[in-house]
Structure 1
Amino acid sequence: MIFLAKARFLSLFLVFHYVVEFCIGGDVITASEYIQDPGSITSSGGLYRMGFFSPNGSANRYVGIWYNNVPRYSVLWVANRKNPILDSSGVMTISGDGNLVVMNGKRELVWSSNVSNSVTNAKAQLLDSGNLVLLKQSSNSSANDAENLWESFQHMTDSFLEKMKLSTNSRTNEKQALTSWKSPSDPSIGSFSASLDPRNIPELFIWNGSSLYWRSGPWNGNIFTGVPEMQSVYSNGFAEASYMSYLLLKSNGDLVQPYWDQSSSSWGIVWSSRLSDCDVYGQCGPFGICNAKKSPICSCLKGFEPKNFEEWSRGNWSSGCIRKSLLQCNGTTNGSSTAGKKDGFLKLEIMKVPSSGIFFSTLEEDCPGNCSMNCSCVAYAYDSGVGCVFWIGELIDLQKFSIGGTTLYVRLAHSELEKKGHLREIIATTVIIGTLVVIIIIWFARRKAKKQAVKQSMEKHLSSGEAPSVVMLGENLSRVEFQEFVKYKIEELAAATGNFCEANKLGRGGFGPVYKGRLPNGQEIAIKRLSRASGQGQQEFMNEMEVICKVQHRNLVRLLGCCAEGDEKMLIYEFMPNKSLDTFIFDPLKQVHLDWRTRFNIVDGICRGLLYLHRDSRLRIIHRDLKASNILLDKELNPKISDFGMARIFGGNENQANTRRVVGTYGYMAPEYAMEGRFSEKSDVFSFGILLLEIVSGRRNTSFHYEDQCLSLLGLAWKLWNEEDVLALVDPTMPATPFEVQLSRCINVGLLCTQERAKDRPSISTVISMINSEIVDLPRPKQPAFTARKITQDTDSSGQSQKTCSANDVTLTVLQGR
């Protein structure tokens, strides 16, 4: 059976009511009326255009279809996506055998419609639906009688328009599917595909190769139940839209709905398949439930516990959960105190139901009884558009929504559902809970008071130049919430590092040295050892413990454990084999190994880590020392933000804070922080802007000297921007030609991030949209901070004064927080 989602799929998301102006120009290609690069044709209604184009950051030429009369967001269909033309000599025409073909300047075939039967009198026409059709028309028939030989809607690329069809042949498993571009500058077939699977209950799946990446939840005849936004935004499956829109499968696997906002004359995103990590398939493993509004986002269903407690505590939830109590299956299981008591069902509302459900009835009243009678049934649900559905085996990809969703009933042993209803037990429980609450409140109040006393004492010592006592630090360290982190013994770490020998030393900071170690199980680790003589590192050490214990993200370095014995204080991290970004980006021998794709991946990863710190974690954290040496690289050169010794946690209503103690690295510090001690999310954005320019240029902002002028790297970028020669900033060891548009965009974003006033800088979420071209038209930056100064030293401590030079190269300024 072939399942056709005829026009319905896109209808779930959009309806066109966009009015376009009619434009003069042909919509037909014949053997004598062909398209020669850079020519094009336009559909009769003027909505679509087809012609030759080059993707952003590439000089290759392709034939594509896009919206006419609006700035291009993306190309909707590409003909020769596997075989680009390397110059502007391409031609699209009808060949002698009636096929629609694309040829290069040497008349070599680079793409064909591949209609097997040779025909004459063929023509291609671009329709107002966006469909390109190849027609066979006899001389004595009308245009309406033309035979359709081939159409682009049957050969989709990464975009889905209103009248397209997604189909799957359940017998042969042949699919009409969307396939992503390899990258924003390369339209060849990428890793991700989107298709319908109608074998049980129709669902839309996104695949990363052969691995399931995202699923829509079941189709109930009206909506996809796993897309909660459809409950409130869409009526009868049709979006209440008055704009031009379509669906796009991006190269990173996200399915988005771009739309043209006529009022602001710009493109935006009205919907995205991935709004949080919960939208990634199977994030919490079998019998785990994902809730993006909680931290951590994963938890086990009631009646279940983590299968692997150690991995679960580290934020690796893929192993999922297992039952605490075996099911009785109608009381037939022996050997437990609950034998003879029937299983029951746990009611979970507003849920994304698991994958691989099996339909078994159209009547709601049949659901609980039929599931109870089947010992293999572990859950059931009812939807009026689908009927009764049950699940066997593991429940995977459960998600808790805020709106929409379905009510799911999960089968549990009777012992897990029993309720203690006796009044005496309720009173006793209430008294115990009340007592515990009082004790906890008192404990937190004392802890807060002691912590404040420790902080004031340390500030007093620091302001007087004295190092705080190690005893005081040890007492404070004992109160840190370690959660499930391993507490190592000094003997273990000494053995792992060869007694902290110099050969295993990775580097040194203000806190002390960092060593590479290897545990008996073969795991490599990095050990940050607090120097006994360090006055700077002790407060940072404590701060890092308290901050990093509370956050987990793939772009943040992972803390594995700690050691606190006597006057020895150490933090143990996952080992990063490629060390820090500065050892690559500023090394003439290593930087040649960082092409632009790798550098852009690093930029994007840093952004994702900052977004988590600023917005997505349960705490709002300002890093305050973002720089190249604090970006670590794993074996695949993926970035991880490290060193949270200077980070600050913000309360829910805080947007900025002040400090008397300005810490960080000059050259990366925002002006309001360096001069006045004020910091906020925009302080980190400023540091990121500097870092972005360093990654593009391969040069440090500090210790930078340009043609004997008083210019930092930021000053040079601003100078080249005004001269409209920003590509002169690009690292000469990196080929810029294929990526000129993307490089120029990143330099523009870097300058926007480093503007003088914090309110002029974009948020990190906006930065992500900017660098990924989701915001097409970037604003012009205002003059950045410090563009007339040259920083003469590169130091990691604000405790030393830094020299800057004025226009007459005479004035010296000491930067100090007020």
Structure 2
Amino acid sequence: MESRAKLCFFALTVRIQLQSYGAAVDAGDTLSLGTSLTGNQTIISKNGTFELGFFSPDGSNWYIGICEGNLVLLDAQGASVWSVNTINKASRALLLDSGNFIMLIDDNKSETVWQSFDNPVDTWLAGMVFGGQQKLCLLEKLIRSCSWAFFLTHGLFSFHVDPSGAKQFVLTWNNSVQYWDSGTWDGKIYSGVPEIADKRQLNISVESNSSGLFESYTLIPPFSALIRLVVTKFGQVRVYAFDGSKWSMFWTMPGDRCAVYGPCGDYGTCDSRNIQLCSCGEGFKPTDNSAWLSQEWESSGCVRKNPLRCDAISGNTDGFIDLGVTLPDDFASSYPVSTNKDCEEACLRNCSCTAFAFNPPSGPC
């Protein structure tokens, strides 16, 4: 089944089972009571679009299971560290053609106890209602998520509804710095990304209620390729289409990777015109050469080749290089000086100052 789109729902080595213990299943779309899923076995949605299976990115010994009709994550010793914790108990788990993994009561498909669409990690699929307090988060090397409590560290970037109440989606760094927004929803388009409406392949539905802003999207016939929106390790949100053989990106924001917050790490400079996106300024070098060679710039940044001397009083001082960067919107005056030279000297006299900016003609500094 070469055209199958393989999306990983659980970024762990997992074991899924429904108690009581019983025979293994493979290639079906359902887990029933008395069956289990282990090893390299998978379940596949009815039309063969999605496959749910196991993988081990780092060889860690983690398991996930469904015990007594409840979805549970167990550690290597069998202790529960997270669970769905539903009141109702499920008897079946089913992988749908939409990519949604659901838990059902008995044989009634309308009674869903739990579904993966309510618990996204880094991917937003067609048909998934997303918004409110939900976040899509970058998955890093050691599998980090901002939505599952048992992971102790967060991804660097996240995509979510603007917490200020504005009817828009935003990208944030470290859950604190907002560096991109979609623009507000006007009933037809988001003001900051009108090109999405021009794609003419998506039907976007937006609802705003007391719980927040929620959006879902579906494909407009005859367009039949699979669509997914993903938060990437580069801090962008990208939309991919699957044509039956490969995933192709057809939209990304922000379009300029240098518009992402801190793409090159400490003391790194960014230029999206270069194949080598990041570089270290004069007097600096990469903190980790191997990381930069693998384009993991933001993980390490740059360090000084020589330590600062910080001896302005003796007249033997350090100097500055003009980077020509734009001041941030929230830039405020730190020193009550009126000239660029005074601002420079104020920085030289402060041993914790590593750079200065002056906005002519009279500040701020």
Same fold (TM over 0.5): yes
TM-superposition CA deviations, 1:447-471 (whole Å, max 9, x none): xxxxxxxxxxxxxxxxxxxxxxxxx
Corresponding letter in the other structure for 2:255: L
C-alpha displacement at 1:251, in angstroms? 2.6
The answer for the alignment partner of 1:230 in structure 2 is 196
**Higher relative helix content:** 1
1:255 CA drift (Å): 0.7
- Are residues 1:257 and 2:228 paired? no
Cα deviation for residue 211 of structure 1 reads 0.9
Pairwise CA distance, 1:198: 7.7
Query: Hey, what does 2:67 align to over in structure 1?
Result: 95
Letter in 2 for 1:269: M
Q: Any residues of structure 2 matched to 1:51-450 within 5 Å, and which?
A: 51-55=53-57, 58-60=58-60, 85=62, 90=63, 92=65, 94-96=66-68, 98-103=69-74, 106-109=77-80, 111-115=82-86, 117=87, 119=89, 122-137=91-106, 143-144=108-109, 146-168=110-132, 175-183=133-141, 186-188=143-145, 189-197=154-162, 201-209=166-174, 210-230=176-196, 232-234=198-200, 237=203, 241-262=223-244, 265-276=245-256, 279-280=259-260
Return closer, same or farther for 1:43/1:110 CA change in 2, 3 Å cut-off: farther
Q: Aligned residue pairs: how many?
A: 246
| Counterparts in 2 of 1:277 and 1:32: CA distance versus 1, 3 Å | closer
TM-score of the superposition, structure 2-length normalised? 0.56
Alignment gaps of 5+ in structure 1: 1-18, 61-83, 169-174, 284-315, 317-550, 559-572, 585-593, 609-631, 637-818
Higher strand share: 2
Could you tell me how far apart the structure 1 residues matched to 2:183 and 2:38 are?
A: 45
- Distance (Å, rounded) in 2 between the aligned partners of 1:53 and 1:217: 38
Q: Distance in 2 between matches of 1:281 and 1:237?
A: 31
CA distance in structure 2 between the aligned counterparts of 1:165 and 1:231, rounded to whole angstroms? 18
Which of 295, 300, 322 lines up with 1:604 in the alignment? 295
- How far did 1:34 drift? 1.5
Q: Distance in 2 between matches of 1:227 and 1:604?
A: 28
Aligned residues of 1:196 and 1:205 also touching (Cα < 8 A): yes
Runs of at least 5 residues in structure 2 that lack an aligned partner in the other structure: 6-25, 146-153, 205-218, 264-268, 306-365
Distance in 2 separating the partners of 1:118 and 1:104: 24
Structure 1 residues 136 and 43: CA distance shift in structure 2, 3 A: same
**Superposition deviation, residue 103 in structure 1:** 4.1
Q: How far does residue 48 in structure 1 lie from its aligned partner after superposition?
A: 1.1
Partner residue of 2:36 out of 25, 28, 34: 34
Secondary structure at the aligned position of 2:196 is classed as helix
Secondary structure class of the residue paired with 1:220: coil
Match among 48, 51, 60 for residue 49 of structure 1:
51
Equivalent runs, 1:779-790 vs 2, <5 Å: none
What is the CA-CA distance between 1:233 and the residue it aligns to? 2.6
Which residue in 2 is equivalent to 1:634?
Answer: 303
**Percent identity over paired residues:** 26
Question: Structure 1 residues 118 and 203, CA, compared in 2 at 3 Å: closer, same or farther?
Answer: closer
Inter-CA distance 557–52: structure 2 relative to 1 (3 Å threshold): closer
Q: Which amino acid aligns with 2:140?
A: K
SS of the aligned residue for 2:295 comes to: helix
The question of whether the paired residues in 2 share the 8 Å contact of 1:20 and 1:45 is answered with no
Amino acid at match of 1:101: V
In structure 2, the residue corresponding to 1:213 is in which secondary structure? strand
CA contact (8 A) 1:125 1:134 kept: yes
* DSSP 3-state at the match of 1:257: strand
RMSD: 3.8
Separation in structure 2 between the aligned mates of residue 269 and residue 54 of structure 1, nearest angstrom: 26
Q: Deviations over 1:25-66 (max 9, x none)?
A: 3222234111112222112222111121123xx334xxxxxx
Provide closer, same or farther for how the CA distance between residues 47 and 110 of structure 1 changes in structure 2, counting only shifts above 3 A. Answer: farther
TM-score computed with the length of structure 1 as normaliser: 0.27
| CA distance in structure 1 between the partners assigned to 2:98 and 2:224 by the alignment | 17
- Alpha-carbon distance, 1:112 to partner: 2.5
Q: Whole-Å Cα distance in 2 between the matches of residues 192 and 224 of structure 1?
A: 21
Any idea what SS the aligned residue of 1:37 has?
A: coil
1:182 CA displacement: 2.1
Deviation at 1:249, TM superposition (A): 0.7
| C-alpha distance in structure 1 between counterparts of 2:238 and 2:108, whole Å | 37
Gap change, CA 1:44 and 1:557, over 3 Å in 2: closer
CA contact (8 A) 1:34 1:91 kept: no
